[in-house]
Amino acid sequence: MGPKQAPKQTPKKAPKQSPENAPDVYPPLTDLPPDQVRERDEKCRDYWNQCIALGGEYEMRGQFGQTICRSCYQRCRATGIWPDKVNDLECLGGD
């Protein structure tokens, strides 16, 4: 007689989540014409420069070990809005 095995468990299905459709969130970059991609990139780059000027480039606790400014910039490029926080740390710069 061998050791007793635990009964097999069936994985639970993840609940379906709807995407956030906030009115101020821009579409992904792939859906935009080139001039709007450039406009969004320039706006996010301006915020990134503000973040660096305020010292956020030295804070290495952003997403995936990046700086806060870099993580905020990537989120801005994806959504079109400079975020308030990334990893519970304030994104410096922005409006």
For 5-62, the three-class secondary structure string (H helix, E strand, C coil) is CCCCCCCCCCCCCCCCCCCCCCCCHHHCCHHHHHHHHHHHHHHHHHHHHCCHHHCCCC
pLDDT of residue 71: 87
**DSSP 8-state code for residue 65:** G
Q: Where are the domains of the chain?
A: 34-90
pLDDT of residue 21: 45
How is residue 58 written in tokens? 């030295």
Q: Convert the pLDDT of each residue in 1-48 to its tens digit.
A: 566 666 666 666 655 544 444 445 555 666 778 888 889 899 999 999
Distance CA 32, CA 9 (A): 45
Distance CA 33, CA 54 (A): 32
